[in-house]
Each structure stands twice: as structure tokens, then as C-alpha cells.
Structure 1
Amino acid sequence: MSTLYNLTDDYVRVLEMIDEGVDEAVIRDTLESIDEAIEVKADSYSHVIREKEGINEIRRKEIKRIQELINRDDKAIKLMKDSLYEAMKYTGKTKFKTDLNSFWVQKNPPTIEVTSEEHIPEEFFKTERKLQRRDLIKYMKENSIEGVELKQTEGVRIR
């Protein structure tokens, strides 16, 4: 079976046949065979596309499931570390060794807790500039901006 690329080349050959004055019946038969071949190829493509879309949906669900497992385990790890810390502080045993591990309490790097931002100097704030594409598209439908081009593309939809 021909590839979609070859079938497209066949259309170019038909145009050449027309330029050469080949009989209309031959051209019509050739076009019908190309159209049927493209339709068969399109059906094959749609089967593969749907299969890949289904596989990707399963993968997305699996990613979500695994991320939930990671989050659950992270919470359990934090709970165990917090419990161990509290037990070590309460008993005063802040440094010890076992046959398998060494344990100690250590100060973490400093952090801040902000209860009000009104007195913080502006130099500590970062403003992120982000293009609002949807708003710009609406604007560009009736206006123009140098360096901005409104493009309309096409794509295949399969039902």
C-alpha cells in the first residue's frame, strides 16, 4: 500500500497528466483510486491515533495515581520524622548511634513567616510579566500591533 506521501505525489502526477492532455476518463479513474487510497489510509491513521490517545489517557491516569502515592508517602515520612524529632527532644537524646544509623537534631536553614506584607520594601517583590494570549487574540481581531501576527491554522479532527 502506498504511503500518504506517495499518494500526495500521485495528485501532482494527475496535474501533470491534465497539462499533458491525457484522456479525461483516465484522469477520473486515477483520481478515484487515489481518493479511495487516501480514505483507507486515513481510516488506518485514525485507528492508530485513537489507540495512542487511549494509551496516553491511561498513562496520564497512572501518572496521577503514582503522584498521589508519592504525596501520601511524603506525608508519612514527614509524620515519622516529626515524631522522631519530638521523641528525641522530649527525652533529651538529641544525638546517638545505632548499629545501622546515626541520629542527631540539627538546626535547619532560617526561614521567614510573613503575617503582613505592608511594611516589606518593594525590592523584595518580583513582578512576573506574563503575556495574556487570549486577550491579545481578541484585541488583534480588530486591531494591529507591530511585531504581532494573528495566525489561523488548520488541523484534522476525527469522529
Structure 2
Amino acid sequence: MLIQVGRDDPGKDTMMIDTLPPRSAQASRLVRNDTPMRQARTCYDHLAGVLGVRLMDELLRRGWLEVNRDDGRRVHYQLTDAGRQALAARDVDVEAAEAAHRMHAYGCTDWTERRPHLGGALGAAILAALSDADIIARTPG
């Protein structure tokens, strides 16, 4: 599933997308084709590709997400109080994500970027909020 990024209202809060850092050096290398599939797509029910990795980087940089544990297979994360408040203020259903009977937040290795994007119930809740706010839209592909 590809993701189309856009805004109907330029003044609308776009969560973290407007403040994402520049593309990483790894992603800038032209070792892989720079296609829409690479830029933004879903991985199961969460955001992936360059955009998903940049979102994860920004959540960590802002201190909204922190490492909870590393089980040797994947890194698990937890929201900080600041992250919980910031995401809830952006209409991310943090409570439902925390109550879900599945992994809450973990690093899911992105197959194009070879770095983690945010998987789990929290990743799904963020994607749902971005979609509900018409910041991103799913397109066939």
C-alpha cells in the first residue's frame, strides 16, 4: 500500500511530518531506486519507507519515544509522558494503542532503508491519525 502525502489546509497541524529531519545519508545514496514505494508505504498497518523511518527518528529525537528493552530480536519502545501528551494532542488514540492486545511499539526493520520504522499498536494508531486528518492517503499499488 502506497501513501500519498498532502494537505488540504496549509494551516492544519500535520503532526511531525513538517518537522521531519532531512533524508539520511544512507537513504540519499542512489543504491536503490527513488520510487514512491520506497518513499512512503505501509508495512501491515503502520507507516514504512523513508517517511516511516524519518518519523521514528523524529519521535526518538524529540524524546517522545524511548527504548524499553531489546530482546535480541527487536527493540521495544515506550512512550514518554511528553510523547503521550504530544501524540494525544494530535488526535493519536494513545489509550487504545496502549490497551491493545498486541506489541505496543517496536522497531520494525524497513526493507528499503535497512533501519527501523515504528511497528506495533502505536505505529498503527499514528498512521490512523495521519489518515483521519487527511495528511496522508492510501493509494493502490
> Could you say which structure has the higher strand fraction?
2
TM-score normalised according to structure 1 size: 0.18
Q: For the pair shown, which has the larger CA radius of gyration, 1 or 2? A: 1
TM-score normalised according to structure 2 size: 0.20
